[in-house]
Structure 1
Amino acid sequence: MFTLYTPQTANKALPEVKRMFADIVAKKNRVLVLQQELQAIVDSGSDFERFIKKKQELNAAVTTLYKAIEILEGTGVAIKSVDEGLLDFPAKRFDEEVWLCWKAGEDEIKFWHGKDEGFMGRKPLETTGVIEP
């Protein structure tokens, strides 16, 4: 689903988006643990059965992670970095397509940047005029 957000609609959606993003981070961390466990099995020279079971567990965890990402991005929100906690909400500023941006730890959407700008191009919402739906 494609959605254009305003600062108001993005902030209204933010609690659920944050919950979904926290779930993605937890699933990613689970994948990392399983990768380490799999590597330990390889390093120990363990038998095929143990390796295959752990590999299948890892594959299922990766599938679950990507499904969670698909669900979040299905709301129109773009994950820019799981590691840095960066999410962007598509919006319009007058006739220009822009991103409303949120970083993990922030309480609300306070910044935006152009389509071709990243996190370093963030500008405060209150100094740039109205962002229209």
Structure 2
Amino acid sequence: MFTLYTPQTANKTLPGVKRMFADIVAKKNKVVVLQQELQGIVDSVSDFERFIKKKQDLNSAVTELYRAIEILEETGVSIKSVDEGLLDFPSKRFDEEVWLCWKAGEDEIKFWHNKDEGFMGRKPLESTGVIEP
């Protein structure tokens, strides 16, 4: 689904987005642990049965991770970095498409940046013409 967000609508949806993002982080961490466990099995020259079972567990975890990402991005929110906790909400500033920017740990969306800029190009919302309701 494509949605243009205002700062108000983005902040209204933020609690649910935060919950979905926390689920993604947990699923990603599970994938990392399973990858490490699988590598340990390979390094220990363990039997095929143990390897195949762990590989199937990893495959399932990766599938769950990607499905969780799809569910969040179906809201129109774009994940820029799971590791850094960066999410962008599509918006408009006058006639220009821009991103409203949120970083994990922030209580609300307070920044925006142009489409060709990243996190380093963030600007405070107070000084913008980002669309209002």
Question: Does TM, normalized by the shorter one, top 0.5?
Answer: yes
Residue 14 of structure 1 corresponds to which residue in structure 2?
14
Q: Give unpaired runs (5+ residues) of structure 2.
A: none
Residue 119 of structure 1 corresponds to which residue in structure 2?
119
Provide the aligned length of Structure 1 versus Structure 2: 133
Residue 129 of structure 1 corresponds to which residue in structure 2?
129
3-state SS in 1 of match to 2:88: strand
Runs of 4+ in 1 over 4 A off after TM superposition: none
In the TM superposition, 1:1-133 aligns within 5 A as: 1-132=1-132
RMSD of Structure 2 on Structure 1 (CA): 0.9
Identity percentage of aligned residues: 89
- The aligned amino acid for 1:17 is V
Contact 1:112 1:122 (8 Å CA) reproduced:
yes
- TM-score relative to the length of structure 2: 0.98
- The aligned amino acid for 2:129 is G
3-state SS in 1 of match to 2:17: helix
Contact 1:77 1:87 (8 Å CA) reproduced:
yes
User: CA offset at residue 132 of structure 1?
Assistant: 3.9
Q: 1:54 to 1:132 in 2, by over 3 A?
A: same
Q: 1:112 to 1:101 in 2, by over 3 A?
A: same
Q: 1:130 to 1:98 in 2, by over 3 A?
A: closer
- The aligned amino acid for 2:13 is A
- The aligned amino acid for 2:6 is T
Contact 1:97 1:114 (8 Å CA) reproduced:
yes
Contact 2:3 2:90 (8 Å CA) reproduced:
yes
- TM-score relative to the length of structure 1: 0.98
Deviations 1:88-133 (A, max 9, x none): 0000111000000000000000000000000000000001234246
Q: Give unpaired runs (5+ residues) of structure 1.
A: none
